Amino acid sequence: MLNYKLNNQQVKKICKKIERERILPFLPFVNENLEKLGFTVDKHSPFFYTENVIIGNQGMNGFLMVNMDGFHSNCVNDDELTTIFSFDSVLNIKIKSGENSCMIALKSSDGILTIEESDGISLQIIYTIYHKVWADIIEEFRNEPIILWNTVDKMNIKRISFNSIDEINEYCDE
């Protein structure tokens, strides 16, 4: 789709940066590229994207894009971006990682959804973002209609926008 594949070393560097500096990365280039491919995207910039994941017990394949509204994929319809899980309904995320594979389980009051990446570990980024950044944001704004980003800034969470995968790699190498 977008040829946006992170190797394991890149994933580990990104996770360490998120942990140390409490970063919430924004990736507007993902939305731009998805729009060029004909997908309808909302105005919220993704903070995660990966290709070729298996979603749920039925083994639906597609890409995974995550923004503040939730988890989105083309696993239901190849040509359509569908919300598959609301981010503010996540109660916990569990992870199971191998040397070159990863699975996360999203838990909500409605049940569990699994997402598996059989050729990479980039789902570790979602796990790290959730536990080091997003869970605090969810808790702060759980019953609120909107997120107040100036409050998020006061929570010592850095929101950083990246315009390419190269920018992310440069930042993580600092």
Domains assigned to the chain:
8-168 (2.30.29.30)
Calpha distance 168→161 (Å, rounded): 9
Cβ distance 11 to 125 under 8 Å? yes
Calpha distance 65→34 (Å, rounded): 10
Give the tens place of pLDDT for each residue, 100-143: 999 999 999 889 999 999 889 999 999 999 999 988 998 898 78
Closest CA to 88 of 128, 25, 137, 35: 137
pTM (2 decimals)? 0.92
Q: What is the pLDDT of residue 68?
A: 85
pLDDT at 88 over 90: no
Give the tens place of pLDDT for each residue, 23-69: 999 999 999 999 999 998 888 889 999 988 999 988 899 999 999 88
Calpha distance 105→127 (Å, rounded): 10
